[in-house]
C-alpha cells in the first residue's frame, strides 16, 4: 500500500469520526448533554439501508431516506421519552440520564440484531460513477462522497450556529439551561432540535461510511466510543474542532497498525485517550466564555 493510499484511508476514517463527533457536539452545545447513542444512530442508518436493499429489494434512495428517518426518530425518542423524563424526575441530574442513554444504546443494538440479523452487511452506495485516480491512487466513489459530505456538513453547521437565530439559541441553551429558562427561551424546542439534527447527521454518516467495511448490529458501540474520543481530542471550542479530533484519530487508526501490525491501533487509541483525559481533558480547542 502506497503512502498516498494510507493518507487517503486516514482522511476517510478521520472524516467519519469527525462527522459523528460533530453529532456529539450538537447535542452537547444545544442540550449540555453527552448523547452516547450517536453510534447506534449511525449503525441504524447504514444497516437499515443495506437490509432494505438486499432483502426487501427496495430502491437504495428510498431505503436511505427511511433509514435516516429511523435514526432521527430514535434521536427524538431519546430526548423526549428518555433524557427529558429522567432529568425531570432526577432534578435535571446528568448521571441518571447518561445511564438511561447507555441502556438505550445497548437496547438499539439488540433490537437491530433481532430485526436485521447479526451478520455484517455490505454498505450501499448512493452514487455510482467512475473512480477518481490521483497520483496512481484510485479513490472509490463512496470515499469521494463521504469527503465531500464532510466539508459540506461542517461548513453548514458553522454557518448555521454562528449566523442563524436557531443556532444562537442553541449556544445560549447549551451555555446555561437554567439561565435560558429564566430568560424565556424555548429550551425544550432547542434541545429537541439538537437531538434531531444529531440523529439525522449520524444516520447519513453511517450509511455513507458503510460501503468501506460493511455494517452490523455490533458496529454502533465501537463507532460511539471512537467518535466520542474524537470529540474529546478536538474539544468544543469550535465547530471544526470535532473534525480535527477525528482526523488525528484517523491517523492513529491507519498508521499505527501499518507500522506496528496486528491490533496495535487499539493500544494506540488507548494511549491517546489516557493522554488527553490526563493532561488535556478539555481538548485541543477550548471554548472561551467572555466575561
pLDDT > 90: what percent of the chain?
48
Contact 221, 39 (CB under 8 A): yes
The CA–CA distances, whole Å, from 17 to 39, 178, 278 equal 10, 31, 22
Closest CA to 42 of 215, 243, 263: 215
The whole domain housing 271 covers 3-123+140-279
Q: What is the 3-state secondary structure (H, E, C) of 121-152?
A: ECCCCCCCCCCEEECCEEECHHHHHHHHHHHH
Residue 10 belongs to a domain: yes
Residue 290 belongs to a domain: no
C-alpha to C-alpha distance for 121 and 105, rounded to whole angstroms: 20
Q: What is the pLDDT of residues 61-78, one digit of tens each?
A: 999 999 999 999 999 999
The pLDDT mean for the chain works out to 88
Residue 130 belongs to a domain: no
Closest CA to 29 of 170, 165, 237: 170
Closest CA to 44 of 183, 202, 273, 184: 202
C-alpha to C-alpha distance for 138 and 148, rounded to whole angstroms: 16
Q: How many domains does the chain have?
A: 1
Residue 14 belongs to a domain: yes
Structure confidence at residue 92 (pLDDT): 65
CATH of the domain at 255: 1.10.3470
Q: What is the pLDDT of residues 236-280, one digit of tens each?
A: 888 999 999 999 999 998 888 888 877 777 778 788 888 887 777
Amino acid at each position: 500500500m502506497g503512502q498516498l493510499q494510507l493518507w487517503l484511508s486516514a482522511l476517510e476514517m478521520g472524516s467519519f469520526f469527525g462527522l459523528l463527533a460533530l453529532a456529539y457536539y450538537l447535542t452537547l452545545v444545544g442540550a449540555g448533554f453527552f448523547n452516547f447513542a450517536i453510534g447506534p444512530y449511525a449503525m441504524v442508518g447504514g444497516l437499515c439501508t443495506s437490509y432494505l436493499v438486499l432483502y426487501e429489494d427496495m430502491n437504495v434512495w428510498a431505503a436511505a431516506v427511511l433509514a435516516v428517518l429511523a435514526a432521527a426518530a430514535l434521536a427524538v425518542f431519546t430526548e423526549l421519552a428518555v433524557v427529558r423524563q429522567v432529568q425531570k424526575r432526577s432534578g435535571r441530574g446528568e448521571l441518571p440520564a447518561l445511564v438511561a442513554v447507555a441502556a438505550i444504546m445497548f437496547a438499539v443494538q439488540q433490537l437491530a440484531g433481532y430485526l436485521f440479523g447479526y451478520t455484517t452487511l455490505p454498505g450501499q452506495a448512493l452514487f455510482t460513477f467512475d473512480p477518481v485516480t490521483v497520483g496512481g491512487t484510485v479513490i472509490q466513489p463512496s470515499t469521494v462522497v463521504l469527503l465531500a459530505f464532510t466539508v459540506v456538513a461542517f461548513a453548514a453547521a458553522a454557518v448555521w450556529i454562528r449566523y442563524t437565530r436557531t443556532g444562537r439559541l442553541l449556544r445560549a441553551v447549551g451555555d446555561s439551561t437554567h439561565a435560558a429558562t429564566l430568560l424565556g427561551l424555548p429550551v425544550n424546542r432547542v434541545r429537541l432540535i439538537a437531538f434531531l439534527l444529531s440523529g439525522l447527521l449520524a444516520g447519513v454518516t453511517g450509511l455513507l461510511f458503510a460501503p468501506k467495511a460493511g455494517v452490523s448490529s455490533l458496529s454502533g458501540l465501537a463507532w460511539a466510543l471512537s467518535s466520542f474520543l474524537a470529540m474529546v481530542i478536538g474539544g468544543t471550542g469550535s465547530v471544526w474542532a470535532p473534525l480535527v479530533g477525528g482526523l488525528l484519530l484517523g491517523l492513529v487508526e491507519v498508521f499505527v497498525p501499518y507500522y506496528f501490525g496486528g491490533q496495535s491501533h487499539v493500544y494506540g487509541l488507548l494511549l491517546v485517550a489516557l493522554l488527553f483525559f490526563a493532561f488535556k481533558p478539555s481538548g485541543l480547542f477550548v471554548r472561551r466564555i467572555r466575561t
